[in-house]
A and B are shown apart, each in its own frame.
Chain A
């Protein structure tokens, strides 16, 4: 079944998910003005699957059932699937100008699928068939699933079992014949409130003494003992202001992160996919991180497309579009953005089959992709702010532009004065000019900057994590040999 966007939103209303924000429980979180834009983003992943102009990217044939499923629930069967994943993400970034959140689940499915296969081969466990059964449920229900990896981690100098507070890494606190009880939390969870289920993975490599922390499982978002504390975003309360209008920049869409707390949650065995096999935590983490570093070569590029377009519109509306330096800056932004896309496509094209048959990206190229993502969006933002001008952060509120309060000697209102003094090129009305500047503000330093800037830095692993992987995969010794041959050194 492929849900529509409307069906997805209605499906969320049936959940009893516990959400807290500003120190209080949010009862109707589906319609909350701060949360709803992020739900609209996920709804777009459902909507486009039904549209002929986009369905080639948005859907795929399930290798488990042969049915057409949303690509977000699909296991990559070849390099074509890997490339189409990146293309789908670019498309959704273009349509939302935000983080659309559903990628973490897709990347977690693919990491779990191949890793559980290899755990079973090594240990004789039955994690893979359990996971396949779970994934069939996901595909049949067209669920959104939060791929939950990042633990709070406490003192970064200490391992999971050495922390003063043992809950700072999520762990098994009780083994039962029919399942496990888990306690802990997952931080920065993108789209977690908007998810039907959570798929939990360990956060890092585990040592033998960290056995209780080497755990992976799935559970519904409204399972007993689970709750979420919503993360703030820069300028978020603008969405709660009456008549905010253009002030929010992007009136329809936005991203979402929260802290997910597991307060002694019971997980039945059928949803447990790793339970103490510490040596496989590394494989699961690295495969998930690899996929997610590939993802950023798609989603951030799509958001970048919108920002480049907004900067070009601002130049038009300012009357500066013919200046050669403006044209050159737009070319530079495009060059940087397409370079990220090249990385996403390249690590996909160079993918390979794992033992399970599912395809994995090229790890070196995916880490290079993400390393570039930690840098290029910042430069694209800098150039967008350069082109936009200072008004993007100094302009009055929407209410001022709408105000009919007389202030001038001739009787002109605040609105008249704002429209008079912020007029520019006849290519646009003053309000159109203000709208595009607010959109740039939103993406560069407002709510969407969470996704486009800081998430680009730390999401899917902070820059140093990629540099470690690049060092491991870079094969410097082989490069030394190349140089020796050319230089005539024996």
Chain B
């Protein structure tokens, strides 16, 4: 099972519900394992959920092999799922 680290921005002025966004993604990708990103852990991919287009969440400290998927707008749900599926298929 593919392992995806989840990283949120700090949520100072989010324009959408970041938690709900993540849960929507998670519910549509049951074949992936998601966990809050931790330093020192190897992930297949990172999912960075930022509450606005500034996308200020820091994520360079985490290890990942295949790629990073960013969500920074409420309209990016399908796009994020598609990108994650592509990573899973690689």
Question: Chain A residues in contact with chain B, CB under 8 A?
Answer: 52-58, 61, 80, 83-84, 86-88, 90-91, 94, 298, 302, 305, 341
Contact = CB atoms under 8 A, between A and B. Distances in A.
A90 B12 contact: yes
| Majority SS at the chain B contact face | loop
What are the 3 A-B residue pairs with the smallest beta carbon separation, nearest first?
Answer: A57-B10, A87-B12, A52-B36
B32 to A, nearest CB: 17
Given A56-B8, A56-B56, A56-B57, 17 more contacts: A52-B36, A53-B8, A54-B8, A54-B11, A55-B8, A56-B9, A57-B10, A58-B10, A80-B58, A83-B56, A84-B56, A87-B10, A87-B12, A90-B12, A91-B10, A91-B12, A302-B12
B7 to A, nearest CB: 7
| Majority SS at the chain A contact face | helix
Interface in B37-63: 56-58, 61
A55 B18 CA distance: 14
Interface string B1-29: 00000111111110000110000000000
B11 A91 contact: yes
Given A83-B56, A87-B56, A53 B13 contact: no
B34 to A, nearest CB: 11
Given A83-B56, A84-B56, A87-B56, A52 B11 contact: no
A196 B57 CA distance: 31
B19 A88 contact: no
Contacts of B13: 87, 90, 305, 341
B11 A53 contact: yes
A40 to B, nearest CB: 20
A47 to B, nearest CB: 14
B8 to A, nearest CB: 5
A86 B10 CA distance: 11
25 contacts: A52-B7, A52-B8, A53-B11, A54-B11, A55-B8, A55-B10, A56-B7, A56-B8, A56-B9, A56-B10, A56-B56, A56-B57, A56-B58, A57-B9, A57-B10, A57-B11, A57-B12, A80-B56, A84-B56, A87-B10, A87-B12, A87-B13, A90-B12, A91-B11, A305-B13
B8 A84 contact: no
B6 to A, nearest CB: 7
A55 B11 CA distance: 9
Nearest to A71: B10
